[in-house]
Amino acid sequence: MAHYAILNDQNIVEQVITGRDEGELNIDWEAHYGEIFNKTVKRTSINTYQGEHTQGKAPFRLNYAGPGMRYDPQLDGFIYSQPFPSWVLDPSKGAYVAPVAKPEDDKAYAWDEANLTWIERKP
Protein backbone atom coordinates (compact mmCIF):
# COMPACT_ATOMS: atom_id res chain seq x y z
CA MET A 1 0.00 0.00 0.00
CA ALA A 2 1.31 3.43 -0.94
CA HIS A 3 0.03 6.98 -0.51
CA TYR A 4 -0.26 9.63 -3.19
CA ALA A 5 -0.71 13.40 -2.95
CA ILE A 6 -3.00 15.08 -5.48
CA LEU A 7 -1.63 18.56 -6.29
CA ASN A 8 -3.31 21.67 -7.63
CA ASP A 9 -1.72 24.00 -10.22
CA GLN A 10 0.31 25.77 -7.50
CA ASN A 11 1.74 22.44 -6.20
CA ILE A 12 -0.45 22.60 -3.08
CA VAL A 13 -1.68 19.24 -1.78
CA GLU A 14 -5.45 18.98 -2.21
CA GLN A 15 -5.83 15.45 -0.87
CA VAL A 16 -3.90 12.28 -0.12
CA ILE A 17 -5.14 8.89 -1.30
CA THR A 18 -4.15 5.31 -0.62
CA GLY A 19 -3.11 3.44 -3.76
CA ARG A 20 -0.96 0.70 -5.21
CA ASP A 21 2.74 0.27 -4.43
CA GLU A 22 5.25 1.61 -6.94
CA GLY A 23 6.60 -1.16 -9.14
CA GLU A 24 3.43 -3.24 -8.73
CA LEU A 25 2.32 -4.54 -12.16
CA ASN A 26 5.08 -2.46 -13.81
CA ILE A 27 2.83 0.60 -13.85
CA ASP A 28 3.87 4.18 -13.08
CA TRP A 29 1.25 4.77 -10.42
CA GLU A 30 1.94 8.52 -10.14
CA ALA A 31 1.13 8.87 -13.85
CA HIS A 32 -1.83 6.49 -13.55
CA TYR A 33 -3.48 8.42 -10.71
CA GLY A 34 -2.54 11.67 -12.44
CA GLU A 35 -4.61 10.62 -15.45
CA ILE A 36 -7.56 9.62 -13.27
CA PHE A 37 -7.59 12.93 -11.37
CA ASN A 38 -6.28 15.04 -14.29
CA LYS A 39 -3.77 16.53 -11.83
CA THR A 40 -0.13 16.12 -10.88
CA VAL A 41 0.23 13.24 -8.41
CA LYS A 42 3.27 12.49 -6.24
CA ARG A 43 3.87 9.49 -4.01
CA THR A 44 4.44 10.26 -0.34
CA SER A 45 5.73 8.20 2.58
CA ILE A 46 3.70 7.95 5.76
CA ASN A 47 6.96 7.05 7.54
CA THR A 48 8.87 10.23 6.62
CA TYR A 49 8.88 13.27 8.90
CA GLN A 50 11.19 16.29 8.64
CA GLY A 51 13.71 14.52 6.45
CA GLU A 52 13.94 11.36 8.55
CA HIS A 53 12.35 7.94 8.16
CA THR A 54 10.65 6.79 11.35
CA GLN A 55 11.89 3.22 10.85
CA GLY A 56 15.49 4.10 10.01
CA LYS A 57 15.15 3.66 6.25
CA ALA A 58 15.87 6.28 3.59
CA PRO A 59 13.50 9.27 3.95
CA PHE A 60 11.24 9.99 0.99
CA ARG A 61 10.20 13.50 -0.08
CA LEU A 62 10.99 15.12 3.29
CA ASN A 63 7.52 14.78 4.87
CA TYR A 64 4.34 12.79 4.58
CA ALA A 65 2.06 15.02 2.53
CA GLY A 66 -1.09 16.54 3.95
CA PRO A 67 -3.74 18.89 2.58
CA GLY A 68 -2.42 22.44 2.35
CA MET A 69 1.24 21.42 2.24
CA ARG A 70 3.33 22.49 -0.77
CA TYR A 71 5.33 20.20 -3.05
CA ASP A 72 8.70 21.75 -3.93
CA PRO A 73 10.01 20.32 -7.22
CA GLN A 74 13.59 21.53 -6.58
CA LEU A 75 13.72 19.73 -3.22
CA ASP A 76 11.45 16.92 -4.48
CA GLY A 77 9.69 17.12 -1.16
CA PHE A 78 6.60 18.20 0.72
CA ILE A 79 6.94 21.39 2.75
CA TYR A 80 4.98 22.54 5.79
CA SER A 81 3.44 26.03 5.72
CA GLN A 82 5.48 28.91 7.05
CA PRO A 83 4.02 29.62 10.52
CA PHE A 84 5.54 33.10 10.91
CA PRO A 85 7.23 35.55 8.49
CA SER A 86 10.52 35.45 10.43
CA TRP A 87 10.89 31.67 10.22
CA VAL A 88 13.15 30.26 7.49
CA LEU A 89 12.94 27.02 5.57
CA ASP A 90 15.32 24.23 6.56
CA PRO A 91 15.54 22.41 3.21
CA SER A 92 16.86 19.23 4.84
CA LYS A 93 13.65 18.94 6.89
CA GLY A 94 11.02 20.57 4.69
CA ALA A 95 9.97 22.63 7.69
CA TYR A 96 10.36 26.22 8.83
CA VAL A 97 12.45 27.01 11.90
CA ALA A 98 12.44 29.98 14.22
CA PRO A 99 15.32 32.46 14.04
CA VAL A 100 15.91 31.76 17.75
CA ALA A 101 16.14 28.24 19.14
CA LYS A 102 13.31 27.20 21.45
CA PRO A 103 14.49 26.69 25.05
CA GLU A 104 15.16 23.05 25.83
CA ASP A 105 13.42 22.49 29.14
CA ASP A 106 10.11 21.05 30.28
CA LYS A 107 8.22 24.36 30.09
CA ALA A 108 5.63 25.23 27.44
CA TYR A 109 6.48 28.08 25.08
CA ALA A 110 4.79 30.10 22.36
CA TRP A 111 6.48 32.12 19.64
CA ASP A 112 6.20 35.92 19.94
CA GLU A 113 6.61 37.18 16.37
CA ALA A 114 6.54 40.86 17.33
CA ASN A 115 9.60 40.44 19.58
CA LEU A 116 11.18 37.46 17.79
CA THR A 117 11.42 35.43 20.96
CA TRP A 118 9.89 32.50 22.80
CA ILE A 119 7.65 33.30 25.74
CA GLU A 120 6.75 30.86 28.46
CA ARG A 121 3.09 29.88 28.54
CA LYS A 122 1.68 29.89 32.05
CA PRO A 123 -0.96 27.26 32.90
Q: What is the CA radius of gyration of the chain?
A: 17
Q: Give the tens place of pLDDT for each residue, 14-68.
A: 999 999 987 778 899 999 999 999 999 999 999 999 999 999 999 999 999 999 9
Question: pTM to 2 decimals?
Answer: 0.88
Q: Where are the alpha helices (H) located in 1-123, listed in sequence order? A: 29-37
Q: Measured between alpha carbons, how far is 24 from 9 in angstroms, rounded to an integer?
A: 28
